[in-house]
Amino acid sequence: MIRTVPTKPYLDQKPGTSGLRKKVPVFQQEHYAENFIQSIFDALDGFKGKTLVIGGDGRFYNREVIQKAIAMAAANGFGKVMVGQGGILSTPAASHVIRKYKTFGGIILSASHNPGGPHEDFGIKYNAGNGGPAPEKLTDAIFEKTKTISSFKIADIDQIDIDKIGTVEAGGMTVEVIDPVTDYAELMESLFDFDAIRANFKYGFRMRFDAMHAVTGPYAKEILERRLGAENGTCRNYKPLPDFGGHHPDPNLVHAKHLYDEMMGPDAPDFGAASDGDGDRNLIIGKGIFVTPSDSVAMLAANAQLAPGYKDGLKGIARSMPTSGAADRVAEKLGIGIYETPTGWKFFGNLLDAGMATICGEESAGTGSNHVREKDGLWAVLLWLNILAVRGESAKQVVTEHWATYGRNYYSRHDYEEVETERANALVDELRAKLTSLPGTSVRGLKITNADDFAYHDPVDGSVSKNQGIRILFEGGSRVVFRLSGTGTSGATLRVYIERYEPDRARHDLDTQEALGDLIAAADDIAGIKSHTGRNKPSVIT
Ligand code: VG1
Ligand code: CO
């Protein structure tokens, strides 16, 4: 029943910031997905007879690869797989299932916020037994295996009916199809004050949640409308579609502009939120005010004790390097640790496992805590709802009061998408070459105090990750960071992160792009963005 199929390596299967992401036609090449899945198994040890979780964000090609993964898990000796019904498991829900049932690990099929469809993106990543994304050591080992693979193992079994909840035997292995929502919804109930949130809705609090036709729809419907009593229709675009309705399931001010416009309009609900393709990102917009993700993690950390799951306080806060320093001020006030990691959730795993950090965040709309080992979109939304319900205040009040207490970190990210790879590399190489000569010089009247290429020394396992983003620091604490995206599937994406700290509360309601104007101009002077990319302006500003 088990076949060993000869195959040839593909040389482009290097996992990026979050797993392997490629266009669907690339994944549809003969044995392309099989090679990567077998390489994952080949890089792991000791899973014979153990359980593997399999789920995805429901995008185009999800069902096909799930069938392959099940048949290959059987052939490779797993004892059981747990699959989300319909092939659906949000990334945070998958992380929770891995942890709750103490499984060996999981395979998550997603390209997250990237568009889906026959010509769009697909992705595969492996999460370990702690529920978190494979650390660099493991993704490097997987990549090595992909370069030399010569065969894969697959069981000759019929297609599994993944739409029917229940347990079947196939290929000498147990396949359990589980409800993707129940365990996750219970976890949320255990962390948050559902009574307070329910009462708030009852007394007229209105919200809008946009699932962007991605994976969080069924979760949001169940939790917000059924369990918390938000009015019917609170959740919009809640049906997961293989092509996300033709849109980018990226909850930012460009791709969720309709939500932003609604929240700034005259009849705005009290609170607006959205999540991405695989449910790990969040967009938070209060009535009349957008909350940047960097601010959001700081504000959630500052108020977390209002939620039952965090009533005993936080152990520490971790943020990715490009994320603004707003959270640092909260950590300082709380007297807890603050950790600065490279971009990508895999770097938070050790800090969470070691109990050094409780809340983590990234500027890219990712926030989460030690309840799972992934960022978690709905978790962030529910913590906001919990805080607003207990404080009895609007999001705008919470935000402005936070700025008054801690000062405001003006923050923006400029993305230049699908730049020719050579041109993007040339920009980075040139910048790197002049790093040592920059400190002490001034650009646009701004004095550079330091310039380096960020390297992370993991305080738990001692591993070192180099070249994680170029930082230019200015006198007064402002900074500009440059790095290339590790999640794109065509060309290169240059990300430029710009930040200025403003302690003066009389200057807290400036337009963000204006408040950062001189830094934005300085970034171009220093890196030659326009000349290298040939672009006059960014493709996306968040
Ligand atoms: C981006 C974000 C990063 C995030 C990653 C995965 O990576 O910047 O913060 O962890 O996406 O998020 P990059 O390398 O493109 O900058 V998700 O929601 O796409 O899994
Ligand atoms: Co995502």
Q: What is the distance between the alpha carbons of residues 427 and 242, in angstroms, rounded to a whole number?
A: 36
Secondary structure (3-state) at 500: strand
Any ligand 1 atom below 6 A from CB of 345: yes
How far is CA 104 from its chain centroid? 22
The amino acid at residue 140 is D
Nearest ligand, CA of residue 483?
1
Nearest ligand, CA of residue 468?
1
Q: What is the distance between the alpha carbons of residues 177 and 162, in angstroms, rounded to a whole number?
A: 6
Q: Tokens 């939500």 identify what position?
A: 259
Nearest ligand, CA of residue 18?
1
Q: Please say whether the beta carbons of 419 and 492 come within 8 A.
A: yes
CA of 110 to the centre of ligand 2 (A): 8
For CA atoms 177, 182, 184, 186, the dihedral sign is negative
The CA–CA distances, whole Å, from 478 to 328, 342, 469, 475, 500 equal 14, 19, 16, 7, 4
Q: pLDDT value at position 415?
A: 96
Any ligand 1 atom below 6 A from CB of 485: yes
CA of 366 to the centre of ligand 1 (A): 8
Global confidence as pTM: 0.95
Q: What is the distance between the alpha carbons of residues 174 and 152, in angstroms, rounded to a whole number?
A: 21
Point out which residues pair with 80 in neighbouring strands.
51, 174
Q: What is the distance between the alpha carbons of residues 449 and 432, in angstroms, rounded to a whole number?
A: 16
Q: Which residue's alpha carbon is nearest to atom 1 within ligand 1? A: 487
Upper half-sphere CA count for residue 28 (Cβ side, 13 Å): 12
Q: pLDDT value at position 488?
A: 82
Upper half-sphere CA count for residue 507 (Cβ side, 13 Å): 13
CA of 254 to the centre of ligand 2 (A): 16
Q: At what angle do helices 421-433 and 517-527 cross, to 10 degrees?
A: 90
Q: Please say whether the beta carbons of 288 and 396 come within 8 A.
A: yes
| Joined tokens for residue 313 | 């306080």
Q: How many helices (H) and strands (E) does the chain have?
A: 18, 27
Phi then psi dihedrals of residue 525, to 5 deg: -60, -45
Q: Please say whether the beta carbons of 115 and 121 come within 8 A.
A: yes
Q: What is the distance between the alpha carbons of residues 38 and 44, in angstroms, rounded to a whole number?
A: 10
Q: Which residue's alpha carbon is nearest to atom 3 within ligand 1? A: 344
pLDDT in tens, the chain (542 residues): 899 999 999 999 999 989 999 999 999 999 999 999 999 999 999 999 999 999 999 999 999 999 999 999 999 999 999 999 999 999 999 999 999 999 999 999 999 999 999 999 999 999 999 999 999 999 999 999 999 999 999 999 999 999 999 999 999 999 999 999 999 999 999 999 999 999 999 999 999 999 999 999 999 999 999 999 999 999 999 999 999 999 999 999 999 999 999 999 999 999 999 999 999 999 999 999 999 999 999 999 999 999 999 999 999 999 999 999 999 999 999 999 999 999 999 999 999 999 999 999 999 999 999 999 999 999 999 999 999 999 999 999 999 999 999 999 999 999 999 999 999 999 999 999 999 999 999 999 999 999 999 999 999 999 999 999 999 999 988 999 999 998 888 889 999 999 999 999 999 999 999 999 999 999 999 999 999 999 999 999 99
Q: pLDDT value at position 487?
A: 86
The amino acid at residue 391 is R
| Joined tokens for residue 18 | 């979050």
Ion ligand 2: residues, Cβ under 5 Å:
112, 276, 278, 280-281
State the catalytic residues. 112
**Of 248, 189, 172, 183, which Cα lies nearest the Cα of 218?**
183
Any ligand 1 atom below 6 A from CB of 18: yes
List b or e across 521-538, with b for residues whose CB sees 16 or more CB atoms inside 10 angstroms. ebbbebbebeebbebeeb
Q: What is the distance between the alpha carbons of residues 78 and 73, in angstroms, rounded to a whole number?
A: 5
CA of 32 to the centre of ligand 2 (A): 23
Q: Tokens 């200025």 identify what position?
A: 500
- Contacts by 453-460, CB closer than 8 A, 24 or more apart: 454/321, 454/342, 454/481, 456/321, 456/340, 456/341, 456/342, 456/347, 458/347, 458/350, 459/339, 459/350, 459/351, 459/356, 460/350, 460/351, 460/353, 460/354, 460/356
Q: What is the distance between the alpha carbons of residues 331 and 343, in angstroms, rounded to a whole number?
A: 20
Q: Hey, which of 17, 347, 497 would you mutate to test ligand 1's pocket, going by the most ligand atoms within 8 Å of its Cβ?
A: 17
Q: Tokens 């997905």 identify what position?
A: 33
Q: Tokens 């998958």 identify what position?
A: 94
CA of 113 to the centre of ligand 1 (A): 9
Point out which residues pair with 415 in neighbouring strands.
495, 540
Point out which residues pair with 416 in neighbouring strands.
494
Any ligand 1 atom below 6 A from CB of 412: no
Q: Which residue's alpha carbon is nearest to atom 6 within ligand 1? A: 18
Q: Which residue's alpha carbon is nearest to atom 17 within ligand 1? A: 112
The total number of residues shown for the chain amounts to: 542
**Of 387, 392, 378, 192, which Cα lies nearest the Cα of 298?**
387
Q: What is the distance between the alpha carbons of residues 418 and 130, in angstroms, rounded to a whole number?
A: 34
CA of 538 to the centre of ligand 2 (A): 22
Secondary structure (3-state) at 492: strand
The CA–CA distances, whole Å, from 420 to 144, 199, 492 equal 27, 53, 6
Any ligand 1 atom below 6 A from CB of 468: no
